[in-house]
């Protein structure tokens, strides 16, 4: 059961001008694809070969001897999730049950945005900012490198990739501009709401 690179849920030009075709070609077609290839090579002929992505991550999380498997499996999961967190014409504020939950747990949407941007801005080096459900409460977290909420018993609802390859072609060193654009013009709140409802 080899892992495969999922297709993007939109065309390579669909997120322009906010995220360029060039970024998606490199980010999905090279970076994400390489994680899939590496993972398949690492698990071939092992007891992990037929496990799902989530089961593989759970099985090797915290095992220093399997760090290579964890890093590649987690990055396959993280990127597959990240693509779905965006859509053409996205962004703005959520509505319905998701908006109510954000207001209840953060105080306001603006307070959530501030925490989410802070998580992304203060993640030193490569990593991810997340909106997670943790014990029934919404929280903002950040993880370094390939780490992800699944390894910490949390349910991921939204992520923002803050590895430089996610934004450097379009924003150079301006990570804050990328983060603002992500929230205002890219987030797929329908996907986030569906994750909350399924939790």
Report the length, in residues, of the chain: 199
Q: Where are the alpha helices (DSSP H) in the chain?
A: 21-26, 33-43, 53-60, 67-84, 96-106, 109-122, 168-171, 175-181, 189-198
2: left (phi over 0), alpha (psi -120 to 50) or beta: beta
Q: Tell me if 79 is assigned to a ligand binding site.
A: yes
Q: Tell me if 28 is assigned to a ligand binding site.
A: no
Q: Tell me if 105 is assigned to a ligand binding site.
A: no
- State both tokens at 81: 């999730």
The two beta strands, 127-134 and 155-161, are antiparallel
Q: Tell me if 13 is assigned to a ligand binding site.
A: no
For the stretch 102-108, contacts whose Cβ atoms lie closer than 8 Å and that sit 24 or more positions apart, written own/partner, are 102/138, 105/137, 105/138, 105/139, 106/138
Nearest by Cα to 180 from 83, 102, 91, 85: 91
**Binding site membership for Mn(2+): which residues?**
27, 79, 161, 165
**Binding site membership: which residues?**
27, 79, 161, 165
């Amino acid at each position: 059961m080899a892992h495969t690179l999922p297709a993007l849920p939109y065309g390579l030009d669909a997120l322009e001008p906010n995220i360029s075709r060039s970024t998606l070609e490199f980010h999905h077609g090279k970076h994400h694809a390489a994680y899939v290839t590496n993972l398949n090579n690492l698990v071939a002929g092992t007891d992990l070969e037929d496990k799902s992505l989530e089961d593989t991550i759970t099985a090797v999380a915290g095992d220093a001897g399997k760090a290579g498997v964890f890093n590649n499996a987690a990055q396959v999961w993280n990127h597959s999730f990240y693509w779905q967190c965006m859509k053409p014409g996205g962004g703005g504020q959520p509505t319905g049950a998701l908006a109510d939950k954000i207001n209840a747990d953060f105080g306001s949407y603006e307070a959530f945005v501030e925490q989410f941007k802070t998580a992304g801005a203060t993640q030193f080096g490569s990593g991810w900012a997340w909106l997670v459900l943790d014990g029934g409460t919404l929280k903002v977290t950040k993880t370094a490198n390939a780490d992800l909420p699944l390894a910490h018993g949390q349910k991921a609802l939204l992520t923002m990739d803050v590895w430089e390859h996610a934004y450097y072609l379009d924003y150079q060193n301006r990570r804050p501009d990328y983060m603002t654009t992500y929230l205002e013009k890219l987030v797929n709140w329908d996907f986030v709401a569906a994750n909350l409802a399924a939790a």
